[in-house]
Amino acid sequence: NAGVTQTPKFQVLKTGQSMTLQCAQDMNHEYMSWYRQDPGMGLRLIHYSVGAGITDQGEVPNGYNVSRSTTEDFPLRLLSAAPSQTSVYFCASSPDRVRVQYFGPGTRLTVT
């Protein structure tokens, strides 16, 4: 099993550009989430999904969209990048709502 994979590993965007961060898992987990991690702050939940076709907002959803058309994939879209979105983004999956989350390796995004 590859576990949770994320692409790209690094990305630099200009303000106003859009892009999609990819996340895939091969563990057949129903629950998937996106977090961002900023210096001096804990990981913050952006969006999450409890199954294919079902998504919901986390703590900091503004500026991001998600969709979940398959169990395996959970892409995160930045609609119009802003410098405030410079961060490290982690995707995670979990087999159910109470168990541990497995994180992908992260995407380091810089918006200039």
Binding flag, residue 82, another protein (CB under 8 A): no
Listed ranges 19-27, 62-70, 78-86, 89-97: which one lies at the site for another protein (CB under 8 A): 89-97
Q: Which is nearer to another protein, 50 or 82 (CB)?
A: 50
Straight-line distance from the first to the last Cα atom of the chain, in angstroms, rounded to the nearest whole number: 36
Residues listed for the chain: 112
Residues from 37 through 76 that contact another protein (CB under 8 A): 40-45, 48, 50, 56, 58
Identify whether the C-beta of residue 91 lies closer than 8 Å to the C-beta of residue 6. yes
Closest CA to 93 of 37, 32, 51, 49: 32
Residues from 91 through 110 that contact another protein (CB under 8 A): 94, 97-98, 100-101, 103-106
3-state secondary structure of 85: helix
Binding flag, residue 17, another protein (CB under 8 A): no
Q: Which residues contact 98 (CB under 8 A, 6 or more apart)?
A: none
From the CB of 80, what's the least distance to another protein, in Å?
27
Structure tokens of 81? Answer: 């990048």
Residues that bind another protein (CB under 8 A): 31, 35, 40-45, 48, 50, 56, 58, 90, 94, 97-98, 100-101, 103-106
